[in-house]
Amino acid sequence: MPVPKMMPMTTNTATSASMAALCWMICFAGCGQKWAEDASGDLRIVDNRGGKTLGYNSSSGVALLTVDRLAFKDLNRNGALEPYEDWRLPSGDRAKDLASRMSVEQIAGLMLYSSHQAVPASGGFFGRATYGGKPYADSGAKAWDLTDEQKRFLTEDRVRHVLITSAESPEVAARWNNNVQALAESMPFGIPVNTSSDPRHRARVEFEFLVGASRAVSIWPNAIGLAATFDPEIVRNFGDIASREYRALGIATALSPQIDLATDPRWSRFSGTFGGDPALATDMARRYVDGFQTSVGDAALEGSWGLDSVNAMAKHWPGGGSGEGGRDAHFSYGKYSVYPGGNFDLHLRPFTDGAFQLEGGTGQASAIMPNYTIPHRQDGGENVGSAFSRHVIANLLRERHGFDGVVCTDWGVTADYAGVDRFGASPWGVEGLTEGERHYRALVAGVDQFGGNNDAGPVLEAYRMGVAELGEAEMRLRFEQSAVRLLTNIFRVGLFENPYLDAERTKATVGHPDHMAAGYDAQVKSLVLVKNRGGVLPLAEGVRAYIPKRHLPAGRTFFGMVTPARVEDGLDAEIAAQSFAVATTPDDADAAVVVMESPMSGPGYDAADARAGGNGYLPRTLQFRPYTAVQARAESIAGGDPLEGFTNRSYRGKRSAASNVADLNSVLETRQKMPDKPLIVVLKAANPTVVSEFEASADAILVSFGVQEEAIFDVLTGRAEPSGLLPIQMPAYMRTVEEQAEDTPHDMRVHVDSEGNAYDFGFGLGWGGVIDDDRTKRYVGNPQIKE
């Protein structure tokens, strides 16, 4: 039987014609054998004429099968073409066949999602990492080598889903991917690794959920900045570009979008959302997932799934933006979502009407991540975190809303509870269970996968519990059900056929100039001008501008690590010098540009207060000056924790202050020094802000949501006209923040400035005044509540 022609493929985004000089080329069909060896001598690319391109590592033990003159990978090495190896069959059928062949231990490995992995790994916050028993710096290892820990969890625990954070470079990421895939391919069934990432395309790293941010990829605004464009097509374009860059890095799953309705303005994860407006967030969610998951043209393999597709894991079902007091549920002090406005169903809309109602052909988001929180009085009385709630997952998500994709827990929900203010373990409502019991409860609830767990032991323990309760046959079916969902996501993006990358193609794709230009354009369009008294903007290029330095206090990161006090430029001096003559003193300046960040509030909990006999709870603040919560609830809506002997988490009458009050002082002091000169404030906003503390001192205010400073200067100098709209409300004062309902959008009194403009959702200025266009007509329909 003739053997198919094999050569470097030209249509896969992960490989290119440049491989002709690098990889093996084998040509049969009467022309004899031809091959050339790449740097390692092991990678082979097979082009099935009219079929799917294959890639495999010759040292993995995988060989080729020829059926109907087409090539297939003999992944289980038995010399026969099994249904799961047949790329002509639908992904679902292949997944069912493979799941039926796998042992319970192999399925357990498939159900794990690794802890955070850096490339190369240097240990640190995310755990110990060694190369041949030594730290990376002492090991002599290459940056793309696998750590001892990675080899162990891939082989012993059979992990096939890996979360990567930082990578030294795109080339290093590609080479590391190829090493990972070669190891996985050498094991029984040859199941490739599905690598994932938290958002990477941001201008700055902020918290745990942005540790993968990198300047090597195209740079886009934060999610709330994308919302500020009020243009879902920009989000679709972002998804298209980001998915191609992800696949070039070996990433086939995005742990995004974060589509929680951010209806409480104090939440620390606000900037990672599309805001609190249900209509805007829903449209953004739909276009984001469509962009990431849809492949077209030669890249499409099965419907709209294919080589440019990245599985989108929408989070956090059923919405985590209504934590009581704005506290975050990574920690026990923020474990409860509350619904004083009765709007629980409203928080489902970005999922049910957005991520589950796609237009691009993939149907719905391929995966869902439940939130950490206990949805207070919304889970059928279970009073547990969403991942453990049968009502939230099995009844609400799967039965009522028909979701049959993967459900993966957030990271650390099955770990042992360490303390009210400790990061990394969040088994809310099931603190008293063993780790194995938590896994079993999540399986019963309808979960398929466990985030941040490299150890198969607790999953196998859960299996044994299920056998004891339900019987071997039923528990085996339950495991296979999850395996089919997980494998389907790997099959339909083409990883079983070719999981390997061409490092040169990766370098050419990631951060391509066209991608960079599109991201930069979105950044400019996300900037919101809310004040421009007397038309002081745009400033003339070459104007002498005073940009005071920022004085940042010592503090703690999201993880609790101490950061030292420091002084830094308000805006990068070299970038500023391209637009202005930078003045060193106010007296030498024609205008001032003062940079501030939104108030940096404490987390809403202080262990020292608890040790001193208080309940530990403090207000989260959106103002700079010290704030006393006189109007806060006397009784919290929710409460209760194994380490707390009370249920009232009220902070009424307590005081807190933003750590960056120096930002406010900088504005006020600069105004005193320059009373008659234009003063422009650039507010880098992560949350809504009580701007009344400084607005009267500013002639112009430009709001930024995570952009490069070059984009800010383009607007300040008039090289670009501002077109962004506020995706948030700016509260008039903290009293209205306390009085708003955590689950209700647009229910605060908003600030009205000296020009009579209300800083409400959908407000923004262009050079011609208040923006009123198709975007405002579509999305701005809620009545304003003004002072």
Q: What positions carry a catalytic annotation?
A: 277, 410
In order of 597, 601, 696, 732, the CA distances from 687 in angstroms are 9, 10, 20, 14
Tokens for 43?
A: 């990678």
User: Torsion angle of alpha carbons 415, 420, 421, 423, nearest 10°?
Assistant: 10
Beta pairing class for 544-546 and 555-556: unpaired
In order of 232, 445, 483, the CA distances from 356 in angstroms are 16, 20, 21
Beta pairing class for 194-197 and 161-167: parallel
List beta partners, residue 66. 71
Q: Count of CB atoms within 10 A of residue 380's CB?
A: 13
Q: Count of CB atoms within 10 A of residue 627's CB?
A: 25
Report whether 736 contacts 773 (CB < 8 A). no
Nearest alpha carbon to residue 5 among 42, 39, 32, 40? 32
Name every residue whose Cβ is closer than 8 Å to that of residue 590 and which is 6 or more positions away in sequence. Answer: 543, 544, 545, 583, 677, 678
Nearest alpha carbon to residue 650 among 620, 621, 626, 615? 615
Tokens for 97?
A: 């066949």
**Cα–Cα distance measured from residue 185 to residue 167, given in angstroms and rounded to the nearest whole number:** 22
In order of 293, 481, 506, the CA distances from 309 in angstroms are 4, 23, 16
Report whether 272 contacts 223 (CB < 8 A). yes
Looking at residue 130, the DSSP 8-state letter turns out to be -
In order of 140, 171, 305, 699, the CA distances from 16 in angstroms are 31, 15, 20, 53
CA angle 92, 95, 98 (to 5 degrees): 155
List beta partners, residue 370. 317
**Can you say whether residue 718 is alpha, beta or left, with left for phi > 0 and alpha for psi between -120 and 50 degrees?**
left
The alpha carbon of residue 264 and the mean position of all alpha carbons in its chain are separated, in whole angstroms, by 19
* 3-state SS, residue 408: strand
**Cα–Cα distance measured from residue 626 to residue 737, given in angstroms and rounded to the nearest whole number:** 15
Q: Count of CB atoms within 10 A of residue 152's CB?
A: 13
H or E stretch covering 682: strand 679-684
Report whether 79 contacts 89 (CB < 8 A). no
Report whether 648 contacts 684 (CB < 8 A). no
* 3-state SS, residue 770: strand
Report whether 552 contacts 255 (CB < 8 A). no
Q: What is the CA radius of gyration of the chain?
A: 27
Residue holding tokens 């011609």?
A: 768
